[in-house]
């Protein structure tokens, strides 16, 4: 008997194609935005955590500072207590109401106090010396800044109502009285009188030369001819330097009268040297 086998054919359901509908695209965009938002929130949380860690560290530093301040306050309080005790012991010594051991302890404490006072005086003196040294450096720098200057005393000043052309008057003095042949080549940065104008008085003139060698030529010539003219020419030193040189002048004059070599330094013109040895003020 023949058996008929019927073969069943399985038909797969029709696969759906991916949909590109607007709704599907919006869902993908939302997912991307949510992912970006999540990353931003994570980054902000990390930043906040770092900030909190920094704040915590600073708070810890503040706590350490407060602890040190508290310790310092206790030390100051203890010092005050000890000082009070010392004062009480001193009073007892004055009254003669303590025994020899207590007096010895008080004397020891007073000796320590005197030592501290002396140490403080030495520190103060050291600080004053450093300040003086800095002031001198600034003063000598000012001397250097004025190296192109000269002061002229006795240059005639016109009466009121007449124009006072200072550079022209100075050039005339250089040419006619100092007899300098290079007068026309000498240039000034500026030339002016100093002080308030007073009737019957001639104000000094300060001249700042354009070139230092020309300043030196004029100064040396004026010193050479100082007996032949009524105009006196001096280096333009700061007031404090002039006062210091004035105090040293009697020593310099005496040394020169004795045939010794006495000079002031150019860079530090208040320092006097006699026969090569520095003379203390």
- Domains of the chain, by residue range, sit at 40-91, 99-144, 148-236, 237-281
Please state the pTM of the whole predicted model. 0.54
- Residue 263 φ/ψ, nearest 5 degrees: -145, 155
Beta-ladder partners of 206: 151, 192
Asked if pLDDT for residue 27 goes beyond 60, the answer is yes
Quick one: pLDDT at residue 236? 96
Summarised one tens digit per residue, pLDDT across range 133-163 is 999 999 999 999 999 999 999 998 887 656 6
Please give the helix or strand (H or E) that residue 272 lies within, else none: strand 272-274
* Residues 6+ away with beta carbon under 8 Å from 173: 152, 155, 231
Task: Assign a CATH topology to domain 148-236.
Answer: Alpha-Beta Plaits (3.30.70)
> How far apart are the C-alpha atoms of 154 and 202, rounded to whole Å?
6
Q: How far apart are CA 85 and CA 214, in angstroms?
A: 74
In sequence order, the β-bridge partners of residue 25 are none
Give the whole-number percent of the chain exceeding pLDDT 70. Answer: 79
More confident position, 261 or 183:
261
Is 272's pLDDT higher than 80?
yes
Instruction: Evaluate if residue 19 carries a pLDDT over 60.
Output: no
- Residue 61: pLDDT band with limits 50, 70, 90: low
| Model confidence pLDDT, tens digit, residues 230-269 | 999 999 999 999 999 999 999 999 999 999 999 999 889 9
Query: Do residues 225 and 174 touch, judged by C-beta distance below 8 A?
Result: no
Res 271: pLDDT = 92
pLDDT at position 4 over 60: no
- pLDDT-derived band at 88, boundaries 50, 70, 90: confident
Q: What whole-number distance in Å separates Cα of residue 157 and Cα of residue 193? A: 9
């Amino acid at each position: 008997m023949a058996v008929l086998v019927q073969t069943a054919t399985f038909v797969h359901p029709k696969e759906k194609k991916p949909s590109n509908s607007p709704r599907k695209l919006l869902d993908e965009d939302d997912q991307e935005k949510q992912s970006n938002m999540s990353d931003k929130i994570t980054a902000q949380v990390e930043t906040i955590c770092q900030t909190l860690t920094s704040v915590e560290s600073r708070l810890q530093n503040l706590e350490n500072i407060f602890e040190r301040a508290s310790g310092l306050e206790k030390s100051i309080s203890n010092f005050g207590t000890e000082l009070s005790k010392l004062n009480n012991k001193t009073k007892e010594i004055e009254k003669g109401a303590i025994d020899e051991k207590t007096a010895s302890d008080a004397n020891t404490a007073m000796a320590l106090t005197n030592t501290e006072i002396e140490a403080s005086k030495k520190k103060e003196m050291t600080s004053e010396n450093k300040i003086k040294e800095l002031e001198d450096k600034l003063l000598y720098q000012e001397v250097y800044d004025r190296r192109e200057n000269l002061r002229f005393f006795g240059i005639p000043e016109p009466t009121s109502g007449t124009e006072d052309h200072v550079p022209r008057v100075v050039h005339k003095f250089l040419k006619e009285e100092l007899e300098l042949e290079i007068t026309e080549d000498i240039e000034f940065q500026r030339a002016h009188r100093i002080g308030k104008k007073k009737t019957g008085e001639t104000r000094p003139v300060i001249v700042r030369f354009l070139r230092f060698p020309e300043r030196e030529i004029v100064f040396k010539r004026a010193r050479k001819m100082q007996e032949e003219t009524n105009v006196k020419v001096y280096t333009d030193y700061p007031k404090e330097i002039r006062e210091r040189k004035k105090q040293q002048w009697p020593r310099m004059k005496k040394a020169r009268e004795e045939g010794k070599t006495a000079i002031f330094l150019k860079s530090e013109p208040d320092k006097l040297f006699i026969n090569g040895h520095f003379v203390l003020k």
